[in-house]
Structure 1
Amino acid sequence: MKTRLMLASLAAATAMAFTLPCFAADSAQDFVDKAAAGGMFEVDSSRIAEGKAQDPGVKDFAHKMIEDHGAANAKLATIAGEQKLKVPTQLDAKHKGDLDALQNGKDPFDGSYIQMQRDAHSDAVTLFESYARDGDNAELKTFAQETVPALKTHKDMIEKIAAALDTKTSSSETPKVTVGDTPDATPPLSGANSFTEDQAKGRIQDAGFSDVSKLTKDDQGIWRGQANKDGKSTTVALDYKGNVVAGTK
């Protein structure tokens, strides 16, 4: 009986471990590494946006990111130093790739920057909330707790900017796609697509699809795959503007 209980407990613990978000931190040093990399990316990408963004709202957001994340980065570095933890001074490979795509990509800049900010702030909220709840270093845990509200505010801001730009784009360029209904004739649109496979999958899931699989990017820059919607299997596509279209070929 005791053996069965121990095995059951072990199985439950293992299941919980596998359900933890991939952006959670395993230790104080891991948190510092991930938080510092994310913070540096926010500042560096937003400096690019200050010079290249077309929409005034995007420029204003970028300026605020430089100020807010610059201050948070400095505070993190101070606390990490006091705790004898190393602070990375360079971006990791993923963030370097994103920064290069932002700087040199051929896609409309504002849309690429906005999507990267949406993804980055979603990851940051997950990381900071997780460490604020379960962190193993008291000083860093307090820092995480104090920073979460600002990150959520940033996330709300970029979502509103994205929605506003979607409205402008829909009225001036292409009809807006209603996911799950018969799409307008134009989307999915051909164009250089900066979404990674993981980002494409997340975007499709956010649109209400599940079991997204077999994603491949075709020669038109459109991610295509299979997914479930309302209990039915369907083909699905994501174009470079972020339009999600079901029932495509």
Structure 2
Amino acid sequence: MKTRLLLASLATATAMSFALPALAADSAQDFVDKAAAGGMFEVDSSKVAETKAQDQSVKDFAHKMIDHHGAANAKLETIAGEQKLTVPKELDAKHKGDVDTLQNGKDPIDTPYVQMQRDAHSDAVKLFESYAKDGDNAQLKTFAQETVPTLKMHQEMIEKIASKIGDKSAATTSTTPAVATTDTANPSAPVPGANSFTEDQAKDRIQDAGFSDVSKLAKDDQGIWRGQANKGGKTTAVALDYQGNVVAGTN
């Protein structure tokens, strides 16, 4: 009887020892599936944005995403291979739909791309933080722990860009032209033209529009004064055109 009980116990223990890795692989596979899908989306969507976006800061961010997530994707694929896990080769339906929206959308695509990046990085930070804390695969857990700081850095970057784009759409404009013009509404972007403002006058005009700490003013080849200024505790690019329009968030 004792022998039978001992053999039964050993059989149960053996079964458990083989069952545990299977459970761990299922959980690890779920992480790989989600992390890989998110990483591929970052690269594919950013390749579109690097070509079609108009704001230079959006283009620069997209370029970083291609580099950073491309490297992370390669590292994840290597670890997954070592752990006998499968890495998806194609985007899931949702992410593919988002990339198609950017690819087929009319220019500019800056705003939808930025919002997609905000959502994607929010999801990625949650996924990686959760697995870094409770992950059941040591190598993937380390990968998640090492990747979280970069994802949070990306998140901070895209939030700043989103704020900049928001500031641009709500930019302050002046109603008094520097040069006689037709009776048209002032635009939301600086208008090229011969600018009669001196540097001191340009600085005064920008300060009158509610900005402070105006610096690095220089007139470009389109007659637009460009520099940096502070408003609401944030430093932003600012421009003044020949009509006297003051526009924030321009390059």
Q: What TM-score range do you get, normalising by the shorter chain?
A: 0.5 to 0.7
Q: What residue number does 1:152 align with?
A: 152
SS at match of 1:171: coil
Structure 2 residues without counterparts, runs of 5 or longer: 1-25, 174-251
SS at match of 1:27: helix
Q: What residue number does 2:130 align with?
A: 130
Q: Distance in 1 between matches of 2:152 and 2:111?
A: 20
Q: Match of 1:136, as an amino acid? A: D
The runs of at least 4 consecutive aligned structure 1 residues that moved more than 2 Å come to 105-108
Q: What percentage of residue pairs aligned between the two structures are identical?
A: 77
Q: Match of 1:46, as an amino acid? A: S
Q: What residue number does 2:60 align with?
A: 60
Q: Distance in 2 between matches of 1:102 and 1:57?
A: 17
Q: What residue number does 2:32 align with?
A: 32
| Deviation of 1:99 (Å) | 0.7
Q: Distance in 2 between matches of 1:172 and 1:43?
A: 35
Structure 1 residues without counterparts, runs of 5 or longer: 1-25, 174-249
Partner deviation per Cα, 1:181-222 (whole Å, 9 max, x = no partner): xxxxxxxxxxxxxxxxxxxxxxxxxxxxxxxxxxxxxxxxxx
Q: Match of 2:54, as an amino acid? A: Q
Q: Distance in 2 between matches of 1:113 and 1:102?
A: 7
Q: Match of 2:155, as an amino acid? A: K
SS at match of 1:88: coil
| Deviation of 1:102 (Å) | 1.2
Q: RMSD in angstroms over aligned alpha carbons? A: 1.7
Q: What residue number does 2:115 align with?
A: 115
Q: What residue number does 1:86 align with?
A: 86
Q: Match of 1:45, as an amino acid? A: S
| Deviation of 1:171 (Å) | 1.1
Q: Match of 1:39, as an amino acid? A: G
2:131 and 2:144 in contact (8 A); partners too: yes
Partner deviation per Cα, 1:59-111 (whole Å, 9 max, x = no partner): 00000000000000000000000000000000001101111111112474000
Give TM-score, length-normalised by structure 2: 0.57
Q: What residue number does 1:96 align with?
A: 96
2:52 and 2:107 in contact (8 A); partners too: no
Q: Matched residue pairs, number? A: 149
The structure having more radius of gyration, on CA atoms, is: 2
Q: Distance in 1 between matches of 2:105 and 2:50?
A: 16
